[in-house]
A and B are shown apart, each in its own frame.
Chain A
Amino acid sequence: MKPRMKAVLLLALATVLTACGSDISEVEEDQLQPVTAATGATVTMEMVDHEMADGDMADHEMADSGGHEHGQPIDLTGLPVLPGVSLNAEPDGTGGVMLEIGVSDLELVPADPPEEHRQGQGHVHVAVDGSSVAMIAETTYHVTGLTDGRHTVMVALSANDHRDYYANGSAISAMAVVEVTGGAPVSEPDARFEVELEGGVIAGGIQRFGASVGDLVEITVRSDVADSVHLHVYDLKVPLHEGMPAVLLVEVDIPGVFEAELHEAGFKLFELAVS
Chain B
Amino acid sequence: MFPAVLAHGVGGRGDLPIPEWQAAGGAAVALVLSFAALGLLWHRPRLRSMSAGRRMPPSTEGGIGLLARVLRVVALLVFMMVLAAGLGGAAGTTMNISPVSVYVIFWVGVPVASVLLGPVWRAISPWETLGRMAGGSPSGQAPNWLTSGWAALVPISIFHWLELAYHDGASPRVIGWLGLAYTLGLMAMSRRWGWEEARKAEGFGVLFDALASLSPFRRDGSGGLFVRSPFVGVAEVAASPALLSVLLAALGGTAFDGISRTSVWSDLMAGRAGWEATAVSTVALIWVVVLVGLVYHLACMAGGRITGDPDFAVRFGISLVPILVGYDLAHYFSLLVLEGQAFIALVSDPLGRGWDLFGTVDYATNWTFISTTAVGWVQLGSIMVGHMVAVLVSHDRAVEKWSPVVALRSQYPMLGVMVAYTVFALVLITG
Instruction: Write the residues of chain A forming the contact surface with B, with a CB cutoff of 8 angstroms.
Output: 3-4, 6-7, 10-11, 13-14, 17-22, 24-25, 28-29, 32, 50, 54, 57-62, 64-66, 68, 200-202, 205-206, 208, 232-233, 253-259, 261, 265-268, 271, 273, 275
Bound Cα distance from A232 to B12, whole angstroms: 15
B273 contacts across to A, CB distance below 8 A? 265-267
Q: B272 near A: Cβ within 8 Å? A: yes
Bound Cα distance from A59 to B93, whole angstroms: 10
A233, B10: Cβ atoms closer than 8 Å: yes
B14 contacts across to A, CB distance below 8 A? 257, 273, 275
CB pairs A–B below 8 angstroms (16 shown): A4-B133, A14-B87, A18-B83, A22-B87, A25-B352, A29-B92, A57-B95, A58-B95, A65-B92, A66-B168, A205-B267, A205-B270, A254-B367, A265-B273, A267-B273, A268-B269
Closest B residue to A259 by beta carbon equals B8
* Chain B positions 354-381 with a Cβ under 8 Å from a chain A Cβ: 354, 362, 364, 367-368, 371-372
Q: B5 near A: Cβ within 8 Å? A: yes
Closest B residue to A59 by beta carbon equals B92
Instruction: Write the residues of chain B forming the contact surface with A, with a CB cutoff of 8 angstroms.
Output: 4-5, 8-15, 76, 80, 83-85, 87-95, 130, 132-134, 136, 167-168, 170-173, 176, 180, 184, 187, 191, 263, 266-267, 269-274, 277, 351-354, 362, 364, 367-368, 371-372
B372, A255: Cβ atoms closer than 8 Å: yes
Known: A4-B136, A50-B364, A54-B95. A206 touches B270 (CB 8 A): yes
Known: A22-B88, A275-B372. A200 touches B4 (CB 8 A): no
Query: How many A-B residue pairs lie within 8 Å, measured between CB atoms?
Result: 166
A257 contacts across to B, CB distance below 8 A? 8, 10-14
Bound Cα distance from A52 to B372, whole angstroms: 27
A22 contacts across to B, CB distance below 8 A? 87-88
Q: Would you give the shortest CB distance from B428 to chain A, in whole angstroms?
A: 14
Q: Would you give the shortest CB distance from B50 to chain A, in whole angstroms?
A: 39
A57, B94: Cβ atoms closer than 8 Å: yes
B168 contacts across to A, CB distance below 8 A? 64-66
B367, A28: Cβ atoms closer than 8 Å: no
A28, B90: Cβ atoms closer than 8 Å: yes
Known: A65-B91, A268-B269. A7 touches B12 (CB 8 A): no
